[in-house]
Structure 1
Amino acid sequence: MATRSPTTPLKISEDADTVFNSSVSPTSTADGDNISGVPLVSDLELNDRRHSEGDSRLRAASSASKLDCRGTTVDDLPDELMLEIFSYVSFSENIKVLQNVCTRWRILAQDAHLWLHEKYIVRQETSEEEAVATFSAVPQLRTVILEKKVSPGFFQALSRSCPHLTTLKTDLWQMLTCLEADNLFAGCRKIRTLSISDKGVRANVRFLDAVARLADLRVLHIRETEVAEKVIPLRIIADGCPHLSDLGLGDMYGLCYQYQDAEYFISSHKCVLKSLRIRWTSVNGRSIVPLLLVCADVLEHLELIINHKISVEEATKTLTALGKLHNLRRLHFGVTIWEVRHLVPAVFENGRLQKLQHLQLSCIVQDETVRTVTQHCPDLRELELLSCADHTDALFEPLHRLKKLETLKPYVDCILEMSELRRLFFKYCICYAIPFEKFPGRLVNLRELEFDYCDGDQGALDRISAQMPDLRVEGSLGAQMTDDSHDEYE
């Protein structure tokens, strides 16, 4: 094992099944754990080493004697310096090389501080035997991410070998039974971030009883695999996980919930709830947003998954309450009801959401909405516009009828005033009127420009790429929604 000079770092090799982060902090973890009381070397050391004062003097005398004969070697370095060197070694080299040198190196290589920020990713090509062996070699592992379905034996090994696990993300199609979840969470009681599929919940709603036993849980994301009307019993989560600050129920369609359960959950978590991704309305059609006013001082991230069953009355309540969530940094929402679209600008007026940094607007959005956002959200860094046009019918207008849109002095001009904007994303939008030629010199901080299924002038997009070399452009423009193939719908 070679040492390194203070100015020359050791070469780091990346393992295909891991993500290595060498910025190890001895006092804190990625999810806020304080380990200042943890000794620099793990408790495993006690099996092989003694630390009495007399023993230390004997070792010092012995080392001095050896130095006279052979000079200084890597074995003479203190544990603190050895750990610093080991922090530059890759995940796989730690397991396959360091831990096989000698007892001392194995103890140091398994020290907690080396594994606080490591992520073990089980990819499609990773065998379960390899994963199980890794768990045994790294008892201090904190983060495991699954990109494939695994057998129940995998979770048994994880539970048995990694009691310090704090983050677990399973594959979207992974099925966990109630018994498997019980056993897993009994061994990994320290889990604070959990991302799982809804398959276990749909199979047995009592599955959440096992999840609720994770008393330290801070983040819970349940991703849906299909459109289903299975109701998530939020009351169970509310009672069992008092520190839960980030709850995500679904991604595209959202998972169902009872209004009374949502009210109970929000009331019991009003001082800790910082992030919420959820359907606009409960199974009985009532909007959840007015309930969120009790946690307006702490809520920072809100994603409302569009529910097409929402009534005009509930949509009105939602938009009225949104503007009062003054601490929001991130907001995703859309409006599908034509009768209430005029209420959207009021959400942002008078600096109500002036702390907003990320905004996603989808479906029916008026030009006045984007103009209001420009004026009243000075800290906005990311803007995503989905299906945005002055009239929804215009999305399907043939190309020769787009002239009327170009002469409307479209709302996109006001985007030029957003000088702090870092990312701009368009999806299902007609982009012919966007003044790309004015972006250089105006949107000086823009670093990402993305398009997904949008119409527009690709030549203008190519020119902006040449003029703004620091700008990353993804996607392309073309007549995808406005070509003659849509003439049949006239």
Structure 2
Amino acid sequence: METLPDEVLEVVFSYCSVRDLVSSVQHVCWHWKRVVHTSRLWRDVIYRPDKVDTDSHIVSMLCGSAVLQAVDFSARIYGQMVFQALADNCPELKTLLVHVDQDINYDVLKAIHEKCTKIEQLSPPLSVVSSPEKCQIVGEFINLKILSLVAPLQYPCSILCLKDIADGCPQLQHLTLLFGGYFTNDLFYTMVKKKDHLHTIEVSCINFCGMCTLPLLSVCSSLKTLHMHNSCNSESHFKVNSLRKLRALTSLSWEGFHHEDQMLKIFDNKNLVQLLELTLISCNAYNDSVTEVIVQNCPLLQCITLELCSNFSDDSLRLFSSLAYLNTLRIYGNSHITDRGIMSLQQVDQLLCLSLGQCKNLTSASLEVVANLSKLHELRLMLQDLEGLPVDLLATHMKALKRLHIINCYNVDILALEWLKSKVPRIRLKLIFL
């Protein structure tokens, strides 16, 4: 091991936990310690303390983690000493996620700002974002690009200080605002201040006052990605037209469309002609007419996810199969899909990723069609009956397949899948049964 080059050791150490790297690996020899302290090794490492870890143990871990870049403290609440240790020992920190109920006092937050100057992603607690003094500090993170303000709906009394954030954070590009406690005027002020920089917004359709947020988003005409949560009320039903102005959108995700005419208005007349990714969740209004409008007006679509859209049918799937650039398709909990719809996928020559979940009317005929999609790189099957899965076809026909995920499916032939894994070692097989 001593003669291995640094690049090889970095790959080996990437499989170690933060605990192992800090407590064991770096103490073996000076060579290993030097490799452990290279920033490349920590790019994809996130430190999440175990449930049994005490504050004192976490502090000792942080004291030996000078190159740590990402910390997730969102699972529970910690003492101030943990955050002070983070500020004192982790100058390379880029990602900090904190529990919504965590208390971070002013001096500790100031220390984090002064010593962890490279922070790019932050999910602060309510004690910070509801305090004007602390929010001013958040606004002073000059490298901050991703800001997540998330809280359960039972916190309407705490009002976010959005203006302080809007006046700062000069590099902010991604804003998640899943929190009822903000005033519409403050959100509008934020949208105006950040309209030339924001690329991604994730927001609830309605704020805690019952006001619709849709018209405010139209200010950000350069917006690329929009994630909308919660169903629209009667007011937003008439204001959905404001989204037509977001003609630069390449990705749209919406949960809770309940009016067909809303959906038709958004997609009609080439309003979202640049759209590449579309995700619709629990949209009861979805039907074949909506699919037809989407296909006609969003010809560049590459990735489609439909989850719990009860009226999604075989005809809709056939229409989507006609899209010239479709390469990723995810369908979950759509009980109207049958073998006839899956057969239409045979005409999608460029399909690379396919996910099917809880489509209870599919039979072995659908599995055979899927096994003949020779260009698939990834196949994910969830809560499906896999009786009759042609494993031999997976081995011979799916020559591009790299990942096969089978999650909580039934009638799974484990021996056949083990044979597939040995026969085609390039396939990364993941079996999950909960």
Answer whether contact 2:49 2:58 (CA < 8 A) is retained. Answer: no
CA distance in 2, matches of 1:105, 1:449: 41
CA distance in 2, matches of 1:428, 1:242: 41
The correspondence of residues 28-427 of structure 1 with structure 2, limited to 5 A, is 92=20, 96-97=24-25, 101-102=29-30, 108-109=34-35, 113-114=39-40, 117-124=43-50, 127=53, 128-129=55-56, 131-146=58-73, 148-149=75-76, 150-170=78-98, 172=99, 175-179=102-106, 180-198=108-126, 208-230=135-157, 231-250=159-178, 254-297=179-222, 299-308=223-232, 310-312=233-235, 314-318=236-240, 320-334=241-255, 336-338=257-259, 341-362=260-281, 363=283, 364-390=285-311, 410-427=315-332
- What is the CA-CA distance between 1:271 and the residue it aligns to? 1.0
Alpha-carbon spacing, 1:443–1:189, altered in 2? closer, same or farther (3 Å): same
State whether structure 2 residue 355 is matched by structure 1 residue 449: yes
CA distance in 2, matches of 1:355, 1:346: 16
CA distance in 2, matches of 1:17, 1:93: 6
CA distance in 1, matches of 2:170, 2:125: 22
- What is the CA-CA distance between 1:266 and the residue it aligns to? 0.8
- What is the CA-CA distance between 1:369 and the residue it aligns to? 1.7
Q: Which moved more, 1:207-216 or 1:261-270?
A: 207-216
Please state whether the residue corresponding to 2:249 is helix, strand or coil: coil
Q: Deviations over 1:110-153 (max 9, x none)?
A: 76644562524224267355543343333233222346433332
Query: Identity, % of aligned pairs?
Result: 20
Alpha-carbon spacing, 1:186–1:9, altered in 2? closer, same or farther (3 Å): closer
CA distance in 2, matches of 1:326, 1:350: 11
Please identify the structure whose Cα radius of gyration is greater: 1
- What is the CA-CA distance between 1:417 and the residue it aligns to? 0.9
Please state whether the residue corresponding to 1:266 is helix, strand or coil: helix
Structure 2 counterpart of 1:445, which letter? L
Alpha-carbon spacing, 1:271–1:200, altered in 2? closer, same or farther (3 Å): closer
In structure 1, stretches of 5+ residues that fail to align are: 19-90, 391-404, 479-490
CA distance in 2, matches of 1:284, 1:125: 37
Aligned to 2:428: none
Answer whether contact 1:217 1:243 (CA < 8 A) is retained. Answer: yes
Answer whether contact 2:67 2:90 (CA < 8 A) is retained. Answer: yes
Aligned to 1:437: 343
Answer whether contact 2:318 2:341 (CA < 8 A) is retained. Answer: yes
Please state whether the residue corresponding to 2:201 is helix, strand or coil: strand
Answer whether contact 1:17 1:120 (CA < 8 A) is retained. Answer: no
CA distance in 2, matches of 1:97, 1:428: 45
Q: Once superposed, what is the RMSD of the aligned Cα atoms?
A: 3.5
By relative contact order (CA 8 Å, sep 6+), the higher-ranking structure is 1
- What is the CA-CA distance between 1:272 and the residue it aligns to? 0.6
CA distance in 2, matches of 1:300, 1:414: 25
Please state whether the residue corresponding to 1:327 is helix, strand or coil: coil
CA distance in 1, matches of 2:23, 2:155: 43
- What is the CA-CA distance between 1:182 and the residue it aligns to? 4.2
Q: Deviations over 1:453-486 (max 9, x none)?
A: x5423444433443347451322358xxxxxxxx
CA distance in 2, matches of 1:194, 1:93: 24
Aligned to 2:383: 476
Alpha-carbon spacing, 1:444–1:100, altered in 2? closer, same or farther (3 Å): closer
Answer whether contact 1:458 1:477 (CA < 8 A) is retained. Answer: no
Structure 1 counterpart of 2:161, which letter? P
CA distance in 2, matches of 1:94, 1:109: 12
Structure 2 counterpart of 1:475, which letter? M
Question: How many aligned residue pairs are there?
Answer: 375
CA distance in 2, matches of 1:154, 1:227: 27
In structure 2, stretches of 5+ residues that fail to align are: 386-434
Alpha-carbon spacing, 1:120–1:293, altered in 2? closer, same or farther (3 Å): closer
Answer whether contact 2:144 2:169 (CA < 8 A) is retained. Answer: yes
Alpha-carbon spacing, 1:473–1:248, altered in 2? closer, same or farther (3 Å): same
